[in-house]
Structure 1
Amino acid sequence: MKIVVLAHNNVFDTGLAAVLDTLGTANELAELESFPVPRFECVVAGVRDTVQTSLGLTVPVQPAVNIRQPDWVIVPALGTKMPEPLIGVLDGREAQDAAEQLRVWHGHGVRIGAACIGTFLLAESGLLSGHEATTAWWLGPLFRQRYPEVRLDEQRMLVPSGDVVTAGAAMGHLELALWLVRQTSPALADMVARYLLVDTRPSQAPYMIPMHLATADPLVQHFERWARGRLHEGFSLDVAADALHVSKRTLQRRMEAVLGKSPLSYFQDLRVERAVHLLRTSRKDMDAIAAEVGYADGVTLRTLIRRRLGRGVRELRTVYDP
């Protein structure tokens, strides 16, 4: 199986290495254990003659235009992690040339995957339009604004959709590479994960920081600050809108546009975040924590935590050492 890894200048070192090392390990283990699977033939390509990583290492690349028919193309993340500089990179010539090359490959039936900020390059090509996708969780607001035609769910770690697949932040590169191996052999993918000590992460939700998402918009940030002081109270959209001096419709639409969720859903995110903090830093029982974040009992809070984070209380609780 021929895999092209399309490297952009300032490529994220860990992401590039994770993809190559995972597929290389799969080849070694397949040979060692005599798995009847094809080898992963990996080629690093670029739309420029040379590529430097975000740490300044020079990566030898093959010209992308000379590679006609790979089975898969993987787009690793850029090292540009914050919205403003990322927009400048995406508007640059190299990114646009990469997007065009992706369209050419896709037109010849090539399947394409991207991880973390590499999902922005894939979205620039237009090939994610109408598809479900995920991305680096803290860049969800920018992704929604720039690519409204993509059905984004940044809480998911891996989203296959038709002939494209996207993965979440940073270590999502491992998830994406293991997913590729799994398409060939689930048993081989499991063995690779064991050798690399990789625990699969079905969701990015446990790692998301609600406050960081709120900074993408002044009204959302104002709501976040207002809500944090009232987590122990029942939520009312009327009260929230009045406190922020906007209409209910304006608040609802802004939250949906920026975060992809309602004010109530974000309020619940803040409650879960606070509850997890208390689980990890105190000896309070679940009923006491539930009361502190506005729930009548611990059972309701346990259910919400499990639904939001995919983890139980025992997994989240750490030993408190005063």
Structure 2
Amino acid sequence: MLALDGVFDTGLAALLDALTLANKFSAAQSGVPPFDVSIVGVKRKVRSGQGMVIPSQLMSDGPAPDWVVIPALNTGTPELLLPALERPDVRKAKAQLLGWHAGGAQLAASCIGTFFLAEIGVLDHREATTTWWLAPLFRQRYPKVLLDESRMLIPTDIGVTAGAAMGHLDLALWLIRKASPELAVVVSRYLLADIRSLQAAYIIPNHLAQADPLILRFERWAREHLRQGFSLQAAAKALATSTRTLQRRCEAVLGKSPLSYFQDLRVERARSLLRGGSLDLEAIAAEVGYEDGATLRTLLRQRLGRGVRDLRDELR
């Protein structure tokens, strides 16, 4: 496991706790722990984002490990992340990652750790996910990566990427499941956690819109027109831009069409009404511009991976 100064404490702890539990349970049953876990870095001690000192082994040019797992740095905004990616210790770590990859190591990262993999080019022309609130930055910085921030885990031939923050735990459970599906079930029960296929349910559309002035104006227009339905021409005219420009900006910043983002806003509004009131599904469908509840029900299932009953029960 690769740890650098400013590592995200919760992410590192979630990975270590899950893998340690897996070793403990496996050793009790078969006497053979499946994971030999080491924390490595560019120096013998790293300081976490919360200031805790973590002992680590120095990176070496020896045989490549089977897996290298990169926890996130505690740099949750572009203003903090971009300078961190240029730090001398980070540049040294990126060079080491390339060496391990060339030696056959599989690479895994969650949350902001996925930026490391994108930085060294191993995600180019491959699907990947990342922390959802930095998806616009990721998409603009690494246009060759096939980003899908709606998904929690995306395995590829070079390893696996996982989503935001507690995606570290999903990543750990995925690694355990590769060793033993039964062991993963036991660990998930002890930790009260399951591997989630989507992080779409956690995405806040307004936060993504903040990344671009035109997208932010489009979001405000869209919220005012949810009941009327979507028209690309009407949106572009209201924003004093062309349909082509609006389409291209949405694809570049959000990785989706204006219509798809409009549907995201419909889903967000419908979810809020389901959780916070007594309206029936047909009334909620009308409120967000659909003719019937069946269409809305299908959209909610597709986008959030949850049914209407589950969404109503969220706050109970």
Q: TM-score, normalization: structure 1?
A: 0.95
Give the unaligned 5+ runs of structure 1. none
Q: Distance in 1 between matches of 2:225 and 2:88?
A: 47
Whether 2:262 is the aligned partner of 1:267: answer yes
- The residue aligned with 2:13 is 17
**C-alpha displacement of 1:69:** 2.3
Whether 2:251 is the aligned partner of 1:225: answer no
Partner-residue secondary structure (3-state), 2:188 = helix
Aligned with 2:252 (options 244, 248, 257)? 257
- The answer to whether the Cα contact below 8 Å between 1:128 and 1:164 also exists between their aligned partners in 2 is no
**C-alpha displacement of 1:200:** 2.1
Partner-residue secondary structure (3-state), 1:55 = coil
- The answer to whether the Cα contact below 8 Å between 1:282 and 1:320 also exists between their aligned partners in 2 is no
Aligned with 1:149 (options 132, 144, 147)? 144
- The residue aligned with 1:186 is 181
Whether 2:166 is the aligned partner of 1:171: answer yes
Aligned with 2:305 (options 299, 306, 310)? 310
User: Measured at CA, do residues 27 and 298 of structure 1 come closer, stay the same or move farther in structure 2, by a change above 3 Å?
Assistant: same
Partner-residue secondary structure (3-state), 1:256 = helix
Instruction: Output one character per residue of 1:138-186: Cα deviation in whole Å (capped at 9) or x when no partner.
Output: 0100000111111100000000011221000111111111111111111
Q: Distance in 1 between matches of 2:273 and 2:12?
A: 37
Partner-residue secondary structure (3-state), 1:17 = helix
User: Measured at CA, do residues 319 and 162 of structure 1 come closer, stay the same or move farther in structure 2, by a change above 3 Å?
Assistant: closer
Q: Distance in 2 between matches of 1:133 and 1:47?
A: 26
Whether 2:3 is the aligned partner of 1:7: answer yes
**C-alpha displacement of 1:38:** 4.8
User: Measured at CA, do residues 301 and 92 of structure 1 come closer, stay the same or move farther in structure 2, by a change above 3 Å?
Assistant: same
**C-alpha displacement of 1:48:** 3.0
Partner-residue secondary structure (3-state), 2:160 = strand
- The answer to whether the Cα contact below 8 Å between 2:136 and 2:254 also exists between their aligned partners in 1 is yes
**C-alpha displacement of 1:70:** 1.1
Q: Distance in 1 between matches of 2:71 and 2:63?
A: 20
Q: Distance in 2 between matches of 1:319 and 1:129?
A: 38
Partner-residue secondary structure (3-state), 2:38 = strand
Q: Distance in 1 between matches of 2:208 and 2:243?
A: 21
* Range with greater deviation from structure 2 (311-320 or 210-219): 311-320
Whether 2:262 is the aligned partner of 1:293: answer no
- The residue aligned with 2:124 is 129
Whether 2:180 is the aligned partner of 1:197: answer no
User: Measured at CA, do residues 76 and 113 of structure 1 come closer, stay the same or move farther in structure 2, by a change above 3 Å?
Assistant: same
Instruction: Output one character per residue of 1:258-311: Cα deviation in whole Å (capped at 9) or x when no partner.
Output: 000000000000000000000000000000000000000111100000000000
Whether 2:25 is the aligned partner of 1:29: answer yes
- The residue aligned with 2:279 is 284
The list of structure 1 runs, each at least 4 consecutive aligned residues, that deviate by more than 4 angstroms after superposition, is none
**C-alpha displacement of 1:66:** 5.2
Q: Distance in 1 between matches of 2:227 and 2:295?
A: 14
Q: Distance in 2 between matches of 1:105 and 1:200?
A: 27
**C-alpha displacement of 1:94:** 1.9
- The answer to whether the Cα contact below 8 Å between 1:295 and 1:301 also exists between their aligned partners in 2 is yes
- The answer to whether the Cα contact below 8 Å between 1:283 and 1:320 also exists between their aligned partners in 2 is no
* Range with greater deviation from structure 2 (48-57 or 99-108): 48-57
Aligned-residue identity in percent: 59
- The residue aligned with 2:34 is 39
User: Measured at CA, do residues 63 and 319 of structure 1 come closer, stay the same or move farther in structure 2, by a change above 3 Å?
Assistant: closer
- Backbone CA RMSD of aligned residues: 1.4
Whether 2:56 is the aligned partner of 1:61: answer yes
Amino acid at match of 1:133: A
Q: Distance in 2 between matches of 1:34 and 1:198?
A: 24
- The residue aligned with 2:238 is 243
User: Measured at CA, do residues 319 and 311 of structure 1 come closer, stay the same or move farther in structure 2, by a change above 3 Å?
Assistant: closer
Instruction: Output one character per residue of 1:222-252: Cα deviation in whole Å (capped at 9) or x when no partner.
Output: 1001111111011100000000111100000
